[in-house]
Structure 1
Amino acid sequence: MGVAGGWTARVAAYNEKRRKDKIELARIKASAQTEQLRITQTSKTAITKVLARHDDVDARWFGYELDLATLIEYPMMTDLREPLTLAFHRAKVRADDLRPNHPDELLEPAVFAEYRDAVSEYATAFDAAEREARRRKQADFSPVERERLERARRLVAVAADSAATPAERQAAYRKARAELDGLIAVPPAASEKIERRISAALEPGRER
């Protein structure tokens, strides 16, 4: 009885230990799952932030790319002969290339890190180019060239003025482009925006 009782006690102790071990393993697994969920949620928050930062820099760039009058005031923003401008445009291309079609593609840490760093480089390069462009304005142009830029600015205002006739707007836009020729690299998007507005003016009710 003593031997049997001792064996039974050892089996009971072993089973109890296994039960406690299973409970502990379940607790560890649940804790790990909770931590993984926390990490995933944090990653999604980080993804949202970096995508928003990308959008913010894009919006600032569109303020130049789509607004010819602003670009005339700060022409360095499209002058790729300038190292800061070239660096900004290259950084933008890289960030745009790495931007995924769906945010979940950035859940992979290595993919996210590469995109995040590219957006950071884009933002930093844009800040540097914009600061210098706003400091210099039209200082790099001769007095004669600045007069051409001023004429172009006034003509662009007429081209964008809905109170002017379509013919006046078309003529003003053509003259503005002639004044800017050889002075400023006009982004296609800026040209298309004005041209669409002028074309829409030919049909009442269509202009936006």
Structure 2
Amino acid sequence: MQERVPVTSTARSGAKWGVVAVAALAALLLARPLGGIGMLVVLAAVLGIGLLAVNTPELSRPATVKNPDPLPAAKPRPVLSVRDRWQRGIEHHNQVLGAYGSFELDPKMLLQYPALWDLSAPQVIAFHDSLETAGELRSDEFPGEAMAEKYVAAVNELRSTWAAADRFARSTGTGALSADDARDCRRALKLLNHAESAENAERATYLQQVLGTVDRLAERGVVPRPDRARASLQTKIRRAIEA
């Protein structure tokens, strides 16, 4: 669409004055029979009307707006191949294993959220079932499209059940334990906090008590056998003794 050239206020004023001049000349010709005084009166009236017309602002006209350029069409997302989705499934699988492993590796997590191993909870059962299924379908090499699709679906299920189990464990804490088991967890957590601010032999003593409590909780089935947590505690005890 072609843009209109705007008319300046100076051009509009010039045109108005031209009209006034023509009107004044016509008035003079018509006023001759009235004599000199009549001609002056008519001329003054015409000039007054002309000044009023020139100084009266025109109504603003809406500016002509060019049509905006259309937005570029959204590019479709590339469709991942089965191999790419299988590779991404391995990454997601590793993320879940890492998150779950932090509960087993860190004694504090183990003691704060023992509900993650409450096999009477549907969320926990579903997670452990999907963890086993995804582990059985996992392979080091691309297994072909059919098996890869099954593995990707299993990992998607694993991520969903892990999110539900994690929420359940964090919201439950030690609330589902017996009074004795919950008390042991709280006591071991306090000992861990004391150990963080203690030094050398005192620190080693606190950690030894935590290790004994964790072992008793494992024997009673409150938490799984904490091999990784025990190894972490034993390393800290050894370093405290040697310091």
What band does the TM-score fall into relative to the shorter chain? 0.5 to 0.7
Q: Indicate if the aligned counterparts of 1:84 and 1:125 stay in contact, CA closer than 8 A.
A: yes
Q: Indicate if the aligned counterparts of 2:211 and 2:230 stay in contact, CA closer than 8 A.
A: no
- How far is 1:202 from its partner? 5.1
Structure showing greater relative contact order (alpha-carbon pairs closer than 8 Å, 6 or more residues apart): 1
Corresponding letter in the other structure for 2:97 = D
- How far is 1:198 from its partner? 2.8
Q: Is 1:66–2:105 an aligned residue pair?
A: yes
After superposition, the CA RMSD in angstroms is 2.9
Corresponding letter in the other structure for 1:193 = S
What SS does the corresponding residue of 1:94 show, helix, strand or coil? helix
Question: Aligned pairs, how many?
Answer: 163
The aligned counterpart of 2:82 is 43
The aligned counterpart of 2:208 is 171
2:229 pairs, out of 185, 190, 203, with 190
The aligned counterpart of 2:183 is 147
Q: Indicate if the aligned counterparts of 2:86 and 2:149 stay in contact, CA closer than 8 A.
A: no
Give 1 or 2 for the bigger CA radius of gyration: 2
CA deviation vs aligned residue, 1:169-205 (integer Å, no higher than 9, x gap): 553234433663537214322222322443455556x
Q: Indicate if the aligned counterparts of 1:145 and 1:183 stay in contact, CA closer than 8 A.
A: no
- How far is 1:79 from its partner? 2.0
- How far is 1:72 from its partner? 1.5
Q: 1:110 to 1:183 in 2, by over 3 A?
A: closer
What SS does the corresponding residue of 1:192 show, helix, strand or coil? helix
Q: 1:87 to 1:123 in 2, by over 3 A?
A: same
CA deviation vs aligned residue, 1:43-85 (integer Å, no higher than 9, x gap): 3321221111111111111121211211221111122232321
Q: Indicate if the aligned counterparts of 1:158 and 1:164 stay in contact, CA closer than 8 A.
A: no
What SS does the corresponding residue of 1:184 show, helix, strand or coil? coil
The aligned counterpart of 2:62 is none
Structure 2 Cα separation of the partners of residues 83 and 51 of structure 1: 25
Structure 2 Cα separation of the partners of residues 188 and 178 of structure 1: 10
The aligned counterpart of 1:119 is 155
Which shifted more, 188-197 or 45-54? Answer: 188-197
Structure 1 Cα separation of the partners of residues 126 and 149 of structure 2: 20
Q: 1:161 to 1:92 in 2, by over 3 A?
A: farther
Q: Indicate if the aligned counterparts of 1:72 and 1:184 stay in contact, CA closer than 8 A.
A: no
Structure 2 Cα separation of the partners of residues 158 and 203 of structure 1: 19
Q: Indicate if the aligned counterparts of 2:200 and 2:241 stay in contact, CA closer than 8 A.
A: no
Identity %: 24
Q: Indicate if the aligned counterparts of 2:115 and 2:176 stay in contact, CA closer than 8 A.
A: no
Greater helix content: 1
Structure 1 Cα separation of the partners of residues 197 and 133 of structure 2: 37
Q: Which runs of no fewer than 5 residues in structure 2 stay unpaired?
A: 1-77
1:90-109 aligned at under 5 Å gives the runs 90-102=129-141, 105-106=142-143, 108-109=144-145
Q: Which runs of no fewer than 5 residues in structure 1 stay unpaired?
A: 1-37
